[in-house]
Amino acid sequence: MTSPVIEVRNVWKSFKSVQAVKGIDLNIPKGQFTALLGPNGAGKTTLVEMIEGIQKPDEGEILITGKPWKGNQDELHRIIGLSLQETRFIDKLRVSETLMLFASFFNLGKERVNEVIELVGLEEKRKSYVVNLSGGQRQRLAIGIALINTPSILLLDEPTTGLDPNARREIWEILHKLKEMSETSMILTTHYMEEAENLCNYIVIMHNGVILREGTPYSLLTESRNLDDLFVSLTGRRINE
């Protein structure tokens, strides 16, 4: 059995009086698309930001490809691609220039930028300023930036929140394409049931900083008619309430 690419061991994190993550354990194997599913305030973003190395756990340990963040930052940044919730890039930079900027951090050039522009379907917008992009196009750009270094680990924090159904479907298509053509492991946070079900082969349901259930969509759906009902049976409320 191969060792997991991401290991989260008994991780705790609090902000002032709020306990955001309470002793979470999680292993993500290579090539697995994992959804962290839960309502706002469940602790999804905090957990992902700790995996990203942006936040430090109060307790516990996080290993990426068997290595902790401390002392391995440069190496780990090179294998991770990420998209944060609501990141805004430089307004008056063109799409291609924005990608070029991020490509330069990985010593990559125009060739990779062109590949990514094609992958996220922004060919017609390559000369547009970021400020002039629609919400869906900006999110595709954010995913393009996350993919610029051909990451072996992709972390997407609510990549489709606030997008209309068409724009959401376009993002799904990009991620489906990625799933087919690479062995990237992905963690995606979402509060859309259909997104978790459609994109991911492993779902982790979180609420109030703890994991309530985890498993493949198939195994979870043996317990309930759908994920929404399962969430209600576990928490007594709907995910979008």
Partner 1 sequence: MNSFFRFNQLWQITSALFREIIREPGVLFWGILFPILMSLGLGLAFTKKADTVRKIAVSRSSGIPGTGNSDLYKFLEMKCIKQQSGPKEDFTWQYELKDDKLGNTLFLFYELDWNEAMVMLKRGTVSLILESNNGKTEYHFDPVNADAELTYLKLRSVIGSGEVHYPENNSEIKPLTVTGTRYIDFLVPGLVTMGVMMSTMWGISYGLIEKRSKKLLRRLIATPMKKSQFLVAQITVRVIMNFIEALVLVVFALITFNMTIQGSITALILMFLAGNLAFAGIAVFVSSHTSNTEVGNGLINAVVMPMMILSGIFFSYQNFPDWSVSIIRALPLTMMTDGVRSIFNEGAGYSEVAVPALALSVIGMLFFSVGLKIFKWH
* Contacting residue, 22, 67, 78, 179, with partner 1 by CB under 8 A: 78
Residue 15 found at the interface with partner 1 (CB under 8 A): no
Q: Which is nearer to partner 1, 105 or 233 (CB)?
A: 105
Of 143 and 230, CB closest to partner 1: 143
Candidate list 101, 210, 212, 232; residue touching partner 1; CB under 8 A: 101
Contact 120, 143 (CB under 8 A): yes
**Which of residues 103 and 220 has its CB atom nearest to partner 1 in the complex?**
103
**In the set 12, 84, 126, 128, which binds partner 1 (CB under 8 A)?**
84
Q: Contact between 58 and partner 1 (CB under 8 A)? A: no
Task: State the amino acid at position 61 in one-letter form.
Answer: E
Q: Is 67 in the site for partner 1 (CB under 8 A)?
A: no
Class of residue 71 by CB neighbours under 10 A (exposed 0-12, middle 13-18, buried 19+): exposed
131-190 binders of partner 1 (CB under 8 A): 145
- Work out whether 22 is an interface residue with partner 1 (CB under 8 A): no
Applying CB under 8 A, does 51 fall inside the site for partner 1? no
Return the number of the residue (148 or 239) whose C-beta is nearest partner 1.
148
Q: Under the criterion CB under 8 A, does residue 88 sit at the interface with partner 1?
A: yes
Residues that bind partner 1 (CB under 8 A): 52-54, 74, 77-78, 80, 82, 84-93, 97-98, 100-102, 104-107, 129, 145
